[in-house]
Chains A and B, each alone.
Chain A
Amino acid sequence: MSETVTSETSESRRQIEELTERGYQYGWHSDLDTDVAPPGLNEDVVRLISAKKNEPEWLLEWRLSAYEAWTKMEEPDWAKLQIAPIDYQAISYWAAPKKKPVLDSLDDVDPEIREMFDKLGIPLHEQKLLSNVAVDAIVDSVSVTTTFKETLAEAGVIFCSFSEAVHDYPDLVREHLGSVVPVRDNYFAALNSAVFSDGSFCYIPKGVRCPMELSTYFRINSQNTGQFERTLIVAEDDSHVSYLEGCTAPQRDENQLHAAVVELVAKDRAEIKYSTVQNWYPGDENGVGGIYNFVTKRGRAHTDAKISWTQVETGSAITWKYPSVILQGDRSVGEFYSVALSSQRQQADTGTKMIHIGSDTTSTIISKGISAAHGQNTYRGLVKVMRSAENARNYTQCDSLLLGKKCGAHTIPYIEAKNPSAQIEHEASTSTVGEDQLYYCRQRGMSEEDAMSMIVNGFCREVFNELPMEFAVEAQRLLSVSLEGSVG
């Protein structure tokens, strides 16, 4: 493998030299020392990104094919979202990772953010890591990371940045990249494929049960999540991994547009559990400045494999996201557990797609949508049973909770069954947090806000139960904090 790496690398070097010249050739200044590319997207920008990242030619070609596809595609407008037009030529698609200023102590952190950390119950040492405070030797982030890396390496688990993986494990990346979400899949996936900056790569060898929740590790390393993130997880036969992305702590980002792609490959009898907690900046009370989050997440489950998505979405001004499972192998299992909260002016159009191809495949969808203030929450889901899928089963439960009179909840389920043996169940409910429930709790001594938070958390119980323990606790608090002020 080392030989391959060397040749790929020298190949890339040649590429860069060529590219640098090409840049001049087109009269566009592409100084390799630049930190930020000028706004705009064209083929040269794609080449620049690839060159900056020292990528092999096949990946550049892949990016270029994605770019070409993207230019011929149109922004989807079927979602129930009102979005101000996005000027894709006004965005800069390359910026060198910036280092956050290192602070001496937590006292230097914005008091508002500290208050939020405390409310969420984030442990002190993680608060420091999240706010980039220089930490003492005991909880030094580098040593913690090193310990994790050693444990994982012993098990044979590869967990690294996507860029590292491209150079260190090019065959694995090349084999699986785009195998679940092809470059032409959709407008935002094509855009991501053309310009993705970095992300994570995770590989679990045959028969290995990943020795730790990748959550803890990830959280410490998650500060530089990019605008166009790319994640690839490959679980070989009989392996198992639980992965958590995101953080309950509020995240701000100067980039308004985010378009991530996550691909999961679960081979025979493998199991991937992927949990997300997303708390991007939702914008001010008028929705100004919030993050637009357009995400494509999909997994392919081979024979007897299982893929489980759990998401808690409380942030972003716009959420467009449908984590899906292609149930390709016989007896494969797909699950989707979701809590999506839309408050203030937030809009969420989210759900899942379960594509049953193999026989005796099973999927479960539990979606909990919460709308408060002026929030608009849409569940959009597809359950598709192909002709080949004998005895496919799906159970879907979509519950919506309305807090207030100006918010909205919408449920748009699509069901396509081409095999008569399919069994598909769909349950849906819409409820309000009743005056009765609040009064009952208050009569028992609870404040209105405590009561609201208790009722809403109860509503989400089935989904929180799927989260890793420590995050379940934080997710409950996150929901309470997010709902503050939306009572009444």
Chain B
Amino acid sequence: MLHVDNLTASIEGKQILRGLDLDVGAGEVHAIMGPNGSGKSTFAHALAGREGYEIDGTVTLDGADLLAMEPEERAAAGVFMGFQYPVEIPGVNNMYFLRTALNSVRRARGETEIGARDFLAVAKEAMDLVEMKQDFLDRAVNAGFSGGEKKRNEILQMAVMQPRLAILDETDSGLDIDALRIIAGGVNALRGPERSMIVITHYQRLLDYIKPDFVHVLVDGRIVESGDHTLAMHLEDHGYAGFVNTDLNDAPERPLAGTPS
């Protein structure tokens, strides 16, 4: 489904991704772990289409060239990114924002727009998923939200958008254990055979709740190790030290990176 081949990214002349390869099959959940500064967030933004990076390599989603698309076109193609730092938009009603977002992608896909009444039902279901109260929708997008509320709002949006590929960037950062449980519950409920997920995290903690099919270790802009969820436990015990010091020339040229779709 998602095929990433030799992806490089640099910003203001600084090379961050140095030839990243990854294949994510339909319905799979891949965790990407790595130390700070290894390029995890850059990888997420490169997939979502943030401007300002110089990108090279190949990224296809269901065969379509993702790198040639604008961010909104990628969204219409089914890419959703849960932000590490969700952005505040003062004065814009959360419900209105969500409905505009959903209808934008529906329009782009040639589907009919969803009316206010039908949307309310969709939103209600999504809110139950992340244990949010009704007034949540009446507030301005992320404005004055607590850290946990912002992250729950991201999952709420994901539930409404029903993406083909969800990229969750450090969704667990800054959450207490209750919020983490709620968010993981939401994410797990959204797993399905047609939906793939890339879960980016620094800590293994999140993976106790969202059990990935594959775990990859990203160091210095490349995936240096891949495995199943036991790899995450290994990292928990031993840290990234063993990987950071790896002489990259000795690393396998094409690390095992999931199963080709």
Interface residues of A (CB under 8 A from B): 434-437, 439-448, 450, 454-455, 457-462
Q: A443-B75, A446-B72, A454-B92 are in contact. List 19 more A-B contacts (CB 8 A).
A: A439-B50, A439-B71, A439-B87, A442-B70, A443-B71, A444-B157, A445-B104, A445-B105, A447-B72, A448-B72, A450-B100, A455-B89, A457-B91, A458-B89, A458-B90, A458-B141, A459-B91, A461-B90, A461-B91
Q: List the B residue with the shortest CB-CB distance to A462.
A: B91
Q: Which residues of B contact A462 (CB under 8 A)?
A: 91
Q: List the B residue with the shortest CB-CB distance to A444.
A: B101
Q: Which residues of B contact A459 (CB under 8 A)?
A: 90-91
**Residue contact A436 to B72, C-beta cutoff 8 Å:** no
B67 at the binding interface (Cβ < 8 Å): no
**Residue contact A443 to B89, C-beta cutoff 8 Å:** no
Q: Which residues of B contact A437 (CB under 8 A)?
A: 87, 89
B97 at the binding interface (Cβ < 8 Å): yes
**How far does the Cβ of B52 sit from chain A's closest Cβ, in whole Å?**
8
* B contact residues, total (Cβ < 8 Å): 32
**How far does the Cβ of A476 sit from chain B's closest Cβ, in whole Å?**
11
Q: Which residues of A contact B101 (CB under 8 A)?
A: 441, 444-446
Q: Which residues of B contact A440 (CB under 8 A)?
A: 83, 86-87, 89
Known: A434-B87, A455-B92. A443 touches B104 (CB 8 A): no
30 A–B pairs (Cβ distance < 8 Å), ordered by A: A434-B87, A435-B51, A435-B52, A439-B51, A439-B87, A440-B83, A440-B89, A441-B89, A441-B101, A442-B70, A442-B75, A444-B104, A445-B72, A445-B101, A445-B105, A445-B108, A446-B100, A446-B104, A457-B91, A458-B89, A458-B90, A458-B140, A458-B141, A459-B90, A459-B91, A460-B91, A461-B90, A461-B91, A461-B92, A462-B91
Residues of chain B in range 95-119 having any CB-CB distance to chain A below 8 Å: 97, 100-102, 104-105, 108
**Residue contact A454 to B100, C-beta cutoff 8 Å:** yes
B48 at the binding interface (Cβ < 8 Å): yes
Q: List the B residue with the shortest CB-CB distance to A447.
A: B72
**Residue contact B76 to A445, C-beta cutoff 8 Å:** yes
A-B contact count (CB 8 A): 77
B183 at the binding interface (Cβ < 8 Å): no
Q: Which residues of A contact B212 (CB under 8 A)?
A: none
B187 at the binding interface (Cβ < 8 Å): no
Q: Which residues of A contact B86 (CB under 8 A)?
A: 440
Q: Which residues of B contact A435 (CB under 8 A)?
A: 51-52
**Residue contact A442 to B87, C-beta cutoff 8 Å:** no
Q: Which residues of A contact B92 (CB under 8 A)?
A: 454-455, 457-458, 461
Q: How far is the CA of A16 from the CA of B38 in the complex (A)?
A: 88
**Residue contact A454 to B97, C-beta cutoff 8 Å:** yes
Q: List the A residue with the shortest CB-CB distance to B71.
A: A442
B161 at the binding interface (Cβ < 8 Å): yes
B81 at the binding interface (Cβ < 8 Å): yes
B49 at the binding interface (Cβ < 8 Å): yes
Q: How far is the CA of A458 from the CA of B140 in the complex (A)?
A: 9
**How far does the Cβ of B114 sit from chain A's closest Cβ, in whole Å?**
13
Q: Which residues of A contact B49 (CB under 8 A)?
A: 442-443
Q: Which residues of B contact A441 (CB under 8 A)?
A: 89, 97, 101
Known: A450-B104, A454-B100. A444 touches B161 (CB 8 A): yes
Q: Which residues of A contact B161 (CB under 8 A)?
A: 444-445
Q: Which residues of A contact B74 (CB under 8 A)?
A: 443
**How far does the Cβ of A1 sit from chain B's closest Cβ, in whole Å?**
50
**Residue contact B87 to A445, C-beta cutoff 8 Å:** no
Q: How far is the CA of A30 from the CA of B81 in the complex (A)?
A: 74
Q: How far is the CA of A450 from the CA of B75 in the complex (A)?
A: 15
Q: How far is the CA of A469 from the CA of B52 in the complex (A)?
A: 41
Q: List the B residue with the shortest CB-CB distance to A458.
A: B91
Q: List the A residue with the shortest CB-CB distance to B83.
A: A440
Q: List the B residue with the shortest CB-CB distance to A451.
A: B72
Q: List the B residue with the shortest CB-CB distance to A437.
A: B87
Q: List the A residue with the shortest CB-CB distance to B98.
A: A444
Q: How far is the CA of A441 from the CA of B51 in the complex (A)?
A: 13
Q: Which residues of A contact B81 (CB under 8 A)?
A: 443
Q: Which residues of A contact B70 (CB under 8 A)?
A: 442
Q: Which residues of B contact A457 (CB under 8 A)?
A: 91-92
**Residue contact A445 to B89, C-beta cutoff 8 Å:** no
Q: How far is the CA of A446 from the CA of B70 in the complex (A)?
A: 11
Q: How far is the CA of A479 from the CA of B6 in the complex (A)?
A: 44
Taking a contact as CB atoms closer than 8 A, the residue among B51, B52, B75, B140 that contacts A444 in the complex is B75
A-contact bits for B49-78, CB 8 A (1 contact / 0 none) = 111100000000000000000111011100
Q: How far is the CA of A450 from the CA of B102 in the complex (A)?
A: 13
Q: Which residues of B contact A450 (CB under 8 A)?
A: 100, 104
Q: Which residues of A contact B51 (CB under 8 A)?
A: 435, 439
Q: How far is the CA of A186 from the CA of B4 in the complex (A)?
A: 69
By Cβ-Cβ distance, the 10 closest A-B pairs, closest first, are A458-B91, A461-B91, A458-B92, A444-B101, A445-B75, A445-B104, A445-B105, A442-B71, A440-B87, A442-B72
Q: List the A residue with the shortest CB-CB distance to B86.
A: A440
Q: How far is the CA of A434 from the CA of B83 in the complex (A)?
A: 15
Q: How far is the CA of A459 from the CA of B143 in the complex (A)?
A: 12
Q: How far is the CA of A439 from the CA of B50 in the complex (A)?
A: 7
Q: How far is the CA of A454 from the CA of B140 in the complex (A)?
A: 12
Q: How far is the CA of A371 from the CA of B169 in the complex (A)?
A: 34
